[in-house]
Amino acid sequence: MSKVRDIWSHLVLTLREHNLPGSTREARFLLAGVLSVSPSHIYLYWDQDLSVEKTEQLNTMVEERLKGVPLQYILKEWEFFSLHFCMEKGVFIPRLDTESWLEEAILSIRSRFDTQPVVVCDLCCGSGVIGLTIAYWLTETRVVAIDRSELACFLTRKNAYKLGLEERVSIWRSDLFNDIQTIDELQFDFILSNPPYVKEKEWNSLASEIRLYEPKDALVSGPDGLDLIKRILYESPPYLKRQGCLYIEHDPSQVEEIENISIDTQFIKEKVIFDYQKRPRATVFIRK
């Protein structure tokens, strides 16, 4: 058996030899996954011997990583907005870009509490990180998470139970709102969406670990990347209360095109939210 500190040093060198960026950070995450501890706490186990069983488990994980499997799928868990979510191959991996605009959305939703109970829709929910984060941090909200993928709905449900939110979160499988009947009870105060928005021609230029392991239909949306965003702008008004808010994440290059599309809809553009790299990452619309 070897000590954790020695295994970590060897692991960093191995990852560097294979040109993996952030090798020190990745080694910490992989070891933390094996030890079932927070990555920030592995130093507390520095002088502990790693069992043969856990060493074999780590070796398997490293082999997967060297093949290009995303770290999130290997660990089967990832942190988003200070919460830990289960991850599965076949479901889009949440990015930090989404946290940037979600933070502002949470403040906006909180401001509605004084006047009425708030009902929020997480449209194209994936693993459920947007809707479940809102439900966790804003305990007065009720959340409906919608996705066309059966696996995404399963994973969102799993994460809802993991976070103890199953009483306030409903998960529906639907292609946007196509499989949902329009009734007053289903009108939302907020609809938040991180839909696919990559252009078809850009798919082959993405990093190999994205192309080989993440689901293409969760990233790509037609020639201009706007197929699903167009549908959301045209199809969501009946499900959103008047003066309700629609938040849509998009590529920084799509701001003007999305605003032009919205002109013929029941929405008025309110503002654009910038991500942590100061790029326009989400647009907020108000329903007329």
pLDDT in tens, 135-177: 999 998 999 999 999 999 999 999 999 999 999 999 999 999 9
Kindly state the average pLDDT of the residues 211-231: 96
Q: Mean pLDDT of all residues in the chain?
A: 94
Q: How many residues belong to the chain?
A: 288
Report the relative pairing of strands 240-249 and 267-274 from DSSP bridges.
unpaired
Q: What is the pLDDT of residue 135?
A: 97
What's the rounded Cα separation, in Å, for the pair 8 and 3?
Answer: 9
Geometric angle at alpha carbon 83, from 78 and 89, rounded to 5°: 25
SS3 (DSSP) at 187: coil
pLDDT interval class at 17 (50, 70, 90): very high
What's the rounded Cα separation, in Å, for the pair 184 and 179?
Answer: 16
Residues 6+ apart with CB under 8 A from 229: 195, 197, 221, 248, 250, 254, 258, 261
Residues 6+ apart with CB under 8 A from 260: none
Geometric angle at alpha carbon 28, from 27 and 33, rounded to 5°: 100
Q: What is the pLDDT of residue 180?
A: 80
Tell me the DSSP string of 9-36.
HHHHHHHHHTT-TTHHHHHHHHHHHHHT
Residues 6+ apart with CB under 8 A from 24: 12
pLDDT interval class at 114 (50, 70, 90): low
Residues 6+ apart with CB under 8 A from 135: 120, 141, 142, 143, 160, 163, 165, 168, 169
- Whether the per-residue pLDDT at 182 is higher than 70: the answer is no
pLDDT interval class at 116 (50, 70, 90): confident
182 compared with 204, residue with greater pLDDT: 204
What's the rounded Cα separation, in Å, for the pair 144 and 177?
Answer: 12
Kindly state the average pLDDT of the residues 266-278: 96
Query: In this structure, are residues 130 and 81 in contact, taking their beta carbons and an 8 Å threshold?
Result: no
pLDDT interval class at 183 (50, 70, 90): low
What's the rounded Cα separation, in Å, for the pair 7 and 27?
Answer: 9
Residues of the chain with pLDDT > 70, as a percent, come to 97
